[in-house]
Structure 1
Amino acid sequence: MVGSTPAHDVDPAVTVVDDPLALVRQLKREEGTGSDIRLRGGGRLAGALLPEIDELVLKGYPVVAGTGIPVSDCAFDPTVFDVAEHTAFPDGVTVTRLTRARQRTAP
Protein backbone atom coordinates (compact mmCIF):
# COMPACT_ATOMS: atom_id res chain seq x y z
CA MET A 1 0.00 0.00 0.00
CA VAL A 2 1.35 3.44 -0.89
CA GLY A 3 0.70 6.63 1.04
CA SER A 4 -2.79 7.39 2.19
CA THR A 5 -5.14 5.05 0.39
CA PRO A 6 -8.84 5.92 0.16
CA ALA A 7 -11.46 3.52 1.42
CA HIS A 8 -12.21 0.69 -1.02
CA ASP A 9 -15.85 1.80 -1.29
CA VAL A 10 -15.18 5.40 -2.42
CA ASP A 11 -16.92 5.31 -5.79
CA PRO A 12 -18.01 2.43 -8.02
CA ALA A 13 -15.95 3.92 -10.88
CA VAL A 14 -12.75 3.89 -8.77
CA THR A 15 -10.62 0.80 -8.27
CA VAL A 16 -8.30 0.85 -5.25
CA VAL A 17 -5.34 -1.51 -5.43
CA ASP A 18 -2.90 -2.59 -2.74
CA ASP A 19 0.03 -3.09 -5.15
CA PRO A 20 0.12 -0.30 -7.76
CA LEU A 21 3.48 -1.45 -9.15
CA ALA A 22 2.06 -4.89 -9.99
CA LEU A 23 -0.98 -3.25 -11.62
CA VAL A 24 1.17 -0.96 -13.78
CA ARG A 25 3.35 -3.89 -14.85
CA GLN A 26 0.24 -5.86 -15.77
CA LEU A 27 -1.18 -2.94 -17.76
CA LYS A 28 2.10 -2.43 -19.62
CA ARG A 29 2.02 -6.09 -20.72
CA GLU A 30 -1.49 -5.69 -22.17
CA GLU A 31 -1.55 -4.79 -25.84
CA GLY A 32 -2.33 -1.14 -26.52
CA THR A 33 -2.33 0.12 -22.92
CA GLY A 34 1.34 0.46 -21.91
CA SER A 35 1.91 3.90 -23.40
CA ASP A 36 -1.37 5.33 -22.10
CA ILE A 37 -0.75 5.16 -18.36
CA ARG A 38 -0.62 8.59 -16.68
CA LEU A 39 0.20 9.61 -13.12
CA ARG A 40 -0.42 13.17 -11.99
CA GLY A 41 1.07 14.31 -8.71
CA GLY A 42 1.71 12.08 -5.75
CA GLY A 43 5.37 11.70 -4.80
CA ARG A 44 4.74 8.52 -2.80
CA LEU A 45 3.00 6.82 -5.68
CA ALA A 46 5.61 8.07 -8.16
CA GLY A 47 8.35 6.65 -5.90
CA ALA A 48 6.63 3.27 -5.79
CA LEU A 49 6.22 3.26 -9.57
CA LEU A 50 9.70 4.61 -10.43
CA PRO A 51 10.93 1.29 -11.89
CA GLU A 52 8.18 1.52 -14.54
CA ILE A 53 8.19 5.27 -15.26
CA ASP A 54 9.35 5.87 -18.84
CA GLU A 55 8.71 9.61 -19.03
CA LEU A 56 8.42 12.51 -16.61
CA VAL A 57 6.96 15.95 -17.24
CA LEU A 58 8.18 18.44 -14.66
CA LYS A 59 6.71 21.91 -14.28
CA GLY A 60 8.72 24.62 -12.58
CA TYR A 61 7.50 27.92 -11.22
CA PRO A 62 9.68 30.92 -10.27
CA VAL A 63 8.37 30.98 -6.70
CA VAL A 64 9.98 29.70 -3.52
CA ALA A 65 7.12 28.49 -1.35
CA GLY A 66 9.00 26.44 1.23
CA THR A 67 8.09 22.78 1.32
CA GLY A 68 6.20 21.10 -1.47
CA ILE A 69 5.36 17.74 -2.95
CA PRO A 70 8.50 15.69 -3.71
CA VAL A 71 8.80 14.31 -7.22
CA SER A 72 9.52 10.91 -5.76
CA ASP A 73 9.15 9.85 -2.15
CA CYS A 74 11.39 6.78 -2.16
CA ALA A 75 14.77 5.63 -0.95
CA PHE A 76 17.82 7.18 -2.64
CA ASP A 77 18.24 5.28 -5.88
CA PRO A 78 19.46 7.48 -8.76
CA THR A 79 17.50 6.92 -11.95
CA VAL A 80 18.86 8.57 -15.09
CA PHE A 81 16.56 10.41 -17.48
CA ASP A 82 17.39 12.41 -20.62
CA VAL A 83 15.95 15.84 -21.35
CA ALA A 84 13.72 15.29 -24.36
CA GLU A 85 12.16 18.75 -24.41
CA HIS A 86 12.42 21.93 -22.35
CA THR A 87 10.18 24.97 -22.72
CA ALA A 88 10.57 28.24 -20.84
CA PHE A 89 7.65 30.66 -20.89
CA PRO A 90 7.90 34.47 -20.58
CA ASP A 91 6.47 34.40 -17.04
CA GLY A 92 9.33 32.12 -15.88
CA VAL A 93 7.33 28.88 -15.83
CA THR A 94 9.21 25.93 -17.32
CA VAL A 95 8.05 22.55 -18.57
CA THR A 96 10.64 19.82 -19.01
CA ARG A 97 9.89 16.42 -20.52
CA LEU A 98 12.33 13.70 -19.50
CA THR A 99 12.59 10.20 -20.91
CA ARG A 100 14.22 7.26 -19.19
CA ALA A 101 17.83 6.90 -20.31
CA ARG A 102 18.80 3.57 -21.85
CA GLN A 103 22.10 1.79 -21.20
CA ARG A 104 23.51 4.45 -18.89
CA THR A 105 24.05 4.69 -15.15
CA ALA A 106 23.70 7.63 -12.81
CA PRO A 107 26.79 9.82 -12.32
Structure 2
Amino acid sequence: MRRLEYLVATSIDGFIARTDGDFTPLLVAGDSLQALVEELPETLPAQARQALGVDAPNRRYDTVLMGAATYRVPGGLPSPYPQLRQYVACRSGLDTPDDVSVISGGLLERVRALKAEDGLSIWLCGGSTLAAALLPEIDALILKVSPVVLGRGLPLFAAEVPTTRFAPTAVRTFANGVTFREYVRVG
Protein backbone atom coordinates (compact mmCIF):
# COMPACT_ATOMS: atom_id res chain seq x y z
CA MET A 1 0.00 0.00 0.00
CA ARG A 2 1.21 3.46 -0.89
CA ARG A 3 1.68 6.16 1.73
CA LEU A 4 0.11 9.59 1.85
CA GLU A 5 2.77 12.06 3.00
CA TYR A 6 2.05 15.67 3.91
CA LEU A 7 5.23 17.42 2.74
CA VAL A 8 4.92 21.15 3.28
CA ALA A 9 6.92 24.24 4.18
CA THR A 10 6.02 25.81 7.51
CA SER A 11 7.13 28.60 9.80
CA ILE A 12 8.47 27.77 13.26
CA ASP A 13 5.10 28.83 14.66
CA GLY A 14 3.21 26.34 12.46
CA PHE A 15 1.87 28.35 9.53
CA ILE A 16 2.14 27.24 5.90
CA ALA A 17 1.36 30.71 4.53
CA ARG A 18 0.29 34.17 5.56
CA THR A 19 -3.46 34.79 5.90
CA ASP A 20 -3.55 36.00 2.27
CA GLY A 21 -1.94 32.74 1.08
CA ASP A 22 1.54 34.24 0.52
CA PHE A 23 4.14 31.58 1.28
CA THR A 24 7.23 33.40 -0.01
CA PRO A 25 8.81 33.75 3.48
CA LEU A 26 8.90 29.93 3.56
CA LEU A 27 10.59 29.26 0.23
CA VAL A 28 13.68 27.15 0.59
CA ALA A 29 16.95 28.29 -0.92
CA GLY A 30 20.63 27.47 -0.70
CA ASP A 31 21.55 24.08 0.67
CA SER A 32 17.98 23.10 1.59
CA LEU A 33 16.87 23.77 -2.00
CA GLN A 34 19.81 21.72 -3.25
CA ALA A 35 18.65 18.83 -1.05
CA LEU A 36 15.20 18.99 -2.67
CA VAL A 37 16.73 19.08 -6.15
CA GLU A 38 18.84 16.01 -5.41
CA GLU A 39 16.44 13.98 -3.26
CA LEU A 40 12.90 15.06 -4.21
CA PRO A 41 13.10 16.65 -7.66
CA GLU A 42 9.48 15.77 -8.37
CA THR A 43 8.35 18.25 -5.68
CA LEU A 44 9.62 21.19 -7.72
CA PRO A 45 6.98 22.82 -9.93
CA ALA A 46 7.60 22.80 -13.66
CA GLN A 47 8.81 26.41 -13.77
CA ALA A 48 11.40 25.76 -11.02
CA ARG A 49 12.55 22.52 -12.66
CA GLN A 50 13.05 24.39 -15.92
CA ALA A 51 14.87 27.33 -14.28
CA LEU A 52 17.18 24.99 -12.35
CA GLY A 53 17.74 22.60 -15.27
CA VAL A 54 16.26 19.66 -13.34
CA ASP A 55 15.33 16.64 -15.43
CA ALA A 56 15.68 13.93 -12.79
CA PRO A 57 13.25 11.03 -12.42
CA ASN A 58 10.72 10.87 -9.59
CA ARG A 59 12.31 9.36 -6.50
CA ARG A 60 9.62 9.26 -3.81
CA TYR A 61 6.29 10.38 -5.33
CA ASP A 62 4.36 9.66 -8.50
CA THR A 63 1.15 11.44 -7.47
CA VAL A 64 0.42 14.87 -6.00
CA LEU A 65 -2.77 15.94 -4.22
CA MET A 66 -3.52 19.59 -3.54
CA GLY A 67 -6.39 21.80 -2.50
CA ALA A 68 -7.91 24.34 -4.86
CA ALA A 69 -6.19 27.32 -3.19
CA THR A 70 -2.81 25.62 -3.50
CA TYR A 71 -3.53 24.82 -7.14
CA ARG A 72 -4.53 28.43 -7.84
CA VAL A 73 -1.50 30.14 -6.26
CA PRO A 74 -0.77 33.49 -7.97
CA GLY A 75 1.61 32.97 -10.83
CA GLY A 76 0.82 29.27 -10.76
CA LEU A 77 0.73 27.02 -13.78
CA PRO A 78 -2.34 25.21 -15.14
CA SER A 79 -0.33 21.99 -14.77
CA PRO A 80 2.20 22.72 -12.00
CA TYR A 81 3.58 19.18 -11.63
CA PRO A 82 3.40 17.48 -15.05
CA GLN A 83 5.97 14.93 -13.85
CA LEU A 84 3.33 13.58 -11.42
CA ARG A 85 -0.28 12.41 -11.58
CA GLN A 86 -2.05 15.57 -10.38
CA TYR A 87 -5.25 15.72 -8.33
CA VAL A 88 -7.00 18.82 -7.02
CA ALA A 89 -9.64 18.54 -4.29
CA CYS A 90 -12.32 21.13 -4.99
CA ARG A 91 -15.97 21.21 -3.92
CA SER A 92 -17.00 23.52 -6.77
CA GLY A 93 -16.22 23.42 -10.45
CA LEU A 94 -12.65 24.01 -11.50
CA ASP A 95 -11.34 24.29 -15.02
CA THR A 96 -8.15 22.25 -15.37
CA PRO A 97 -6.11 20.82 -18.23
CA ASP A 98 -6.48 17.13 -19.11
CA ASP A 99 -3.51 16.07 -16.97
CA VAL A 100 -5.03 17.52 -13.76
CA SER A 101 -7.94 15.55 -12.25
CA VAL A 102 -10.49 17.17 -9.95
CA ILE A 103 -11.89 15.34 -6.93
CA SER A 104 -15.17 17.05 -6.04
CA GLY A 105 -16.73 14.45 -3.75
CA GLY A 106 -15.91 11.26 -1.89
CA LEU A 107 -12.47 12.59 -0.98
CA LEU A 108 -11.51 10.01 1.65
CA GLU A 109 -12.71 7.14 -0.52
CA ARG A 110 -10.78 8.43 -3.53
CA VAL A 111 -7.59 8.86 -1.50
CA ARG A 112 -7.97 5.36 -0.07
CA ALA A 113 -8.32 4.03 -3.61
CA LEU A 114 -5.18 5.90 -4.69
CA LYS A 115 -3.29 4.49 -1.71
CA ALA A 116 -4.38 0.96 -2.67
CA GLU A 117 -2.81 1.29 -6.13
CA ASP A 118 0.72 0.18 -6.92
CA GLY A 119 3.31 2.90 -7.20
CA LEU A 120 5.35 5.42 -5.29
CA SER A 121 3.99 7.46 -2.38
CA ILE A 122 1.38 10.21 -2.73
CA TRP A 123 2.44 13.77 -1.93
CA LEU A 124 -0.09 15.96 -0.16
CA CYS A 125 1.35 19.39 -0.92
CA GLY A 126 -1.38 21.56 0.61
CA GLY A 127 -3.47 23.14 1.77
CA SER A 128 -4.36 23.22 5.40
CA THR A 129 -8.10 22.56 4.97
CA LEU A 130 -7.39 19.54 2.80
CA ALA A 131 -4.78 18.28 5.27
CA ALA A 132 -7.32 18.49 8.10
CA ALA A 133 -9.86 16.51 6.04
CA LEU A 134 -7.26 13.87 5.15
CA LEU A 135 -5.60 13.51 8.56
CA PRO A 136 -7.08 9.99 9.00
CA GLU A 137 -5.17 8.91 5.88
CA ILE A 138 -1.89 10.78 6.39
CA ASP A 139 0.91 8.29 7.04
CA ALA A 140 3.78 10.74 7.39
CA LEU A 141 4.51 14.43 7.91
CA ILE A 142 7.57 15.98 6.31
CA LEU A 143 7.92 19.56 7.44
CA LYS A 144 10.35 22.00 5.84
CA VAL A 145 10.60 24.39 8.78
CA SER A 146 11.85 27.87 7.91
CA PRO A 147 13.42 29.92 10.71
CA VAL A 148 10.74 32.59 10.57
CA VAL A 149 7.75 33.50 12.74
CA LEU A 150 4.66 34.58 10.79
CA GLY A 151 2.54 35.33 13.86
CA ARG A 152 -0.64 34.31 12.11
CA GLY A 153 -1.66 32.71 8.87
CA LEU A 154 -2.82 29.39 7.48
CA PRO A 155 -2.01 26.65 10.00
CA LEU A 156 -0.77 23.16 9.13
CA PHE A 157 -4.32 21.91 9.75
CA ALA A 158 -7.12 24.47 9.25
CA ALA A 159 -9.83 22.72 11.22
CA GLU A 160 -10.26 21.06 14.55
CA VAL A 161 -8.69 17.63 14.23
CA PRO A 162 -8.48 14.72 16.65
CA THR A 163 -5.30 14.20 18.62
CA THR A 164 -3.12 12.09 16.35
CA ARG A 165 0.30 10.80 17.34
CA PHE A 166 3.32 10.88 15.07
CA ALA A 167 6.84 9.72 15.94
CA PRO A 168 9.90 11.62 14.74
CA THR A 169 12.07 9.66 12.33
CA ALA A 170 14.56 12.22 11.01
CA VAL A 171 15.72 15.80 11.46
CA ARG A 172 18.14 17.59 9.15
CA THR A 173 19.38 21.12 9.70
CA PHE A 174 20.80 23.16 6.85
CA ALA A 175 23.25 26.06 6.90
CA ASN A 176 20.46 28.47 5.94
CA GLY A 177 18.57 27.57 9.14
CA VAL A 178 15.87 25.46 7.47
CA THR A 179 15.18 22.08 9.06
CA PHE A 180 13.51 19.10 7.45
CA ARG A 181 11.56 17.13 10.07
CA GLU A 182 10.01 13.76 9.29
CA TYR A 183 7.35 12.01 11.36
CA VAL A 184 5.40 8.78 10.88
CA ARG A 185 1.95 8.00 12.22
CA VAL A 186 1.96 5.94 15.40
CA GLY A 187 -0.51 3.08 15.73
TM-score by length of 2: 0.48
* 2:97 counterpart of 1:11: yes
Which stretch of structure 1 is more off in the superposition, 2-11 or 67-76? 2-11
Structure 2 residues not aligned, in runs of 5+: 1-66, 70-89
- Alignment partner of 1:83: what SS? strand
CA contact (8 A) 1:8 1:15 kept: no
* Deviation of 1:51 (Å): 0.4
In 1, distance between residues paired with 2:94 and 2:133?
20
* 2:110 counterpart of 1:23: yes
Percent identity between the aligned chains?
38
* Correspondence for 1:68 among 127, 134, 153: 153
Structure 1 residues not aligned, in runs of 5+: 103-107
* Deviation of 1:59 (Å): 1.4
In 2, distance between residues paired with 1:41 and 1:9?
19
Tell me which amino acid in the other structure corresponds to 2:163: P
Distance 1:93 1:22, change over 3 A: same
- Corresponding residue number in structure 2 for 1:105: none
CA contact (8 A) 1:3 1:45 kept: no
In 2, distance between residues paired with 1:73 and 1:85?
25
**Deviant stretches of 4+, over 4 Å:** none
* Deviation of 1:60 (Å): 1.2
Tell me which amino acid in the other structure corresponds to 2:95: D
* Deviation of 1:74 (Å): 2.5
Which stretch of structure 1 is more off in the superposition, 79-88 or 9-18? 9-18
Larger RCO (CA within 8 A; separation ≥ 6): 2
**Number of equivalences:** 99
Task: From the two aligned structures, give the one with the greater strand fraction.
Answer: 2
In 2, distance between residues paired with 1:16 and 1:28?
17
* Deviation of 1:28 (Å): 1.7
Provide the aligned C-alpha RMSD in A.
2.0
- Corresponding residue number in structure 2 for 1:59: 144
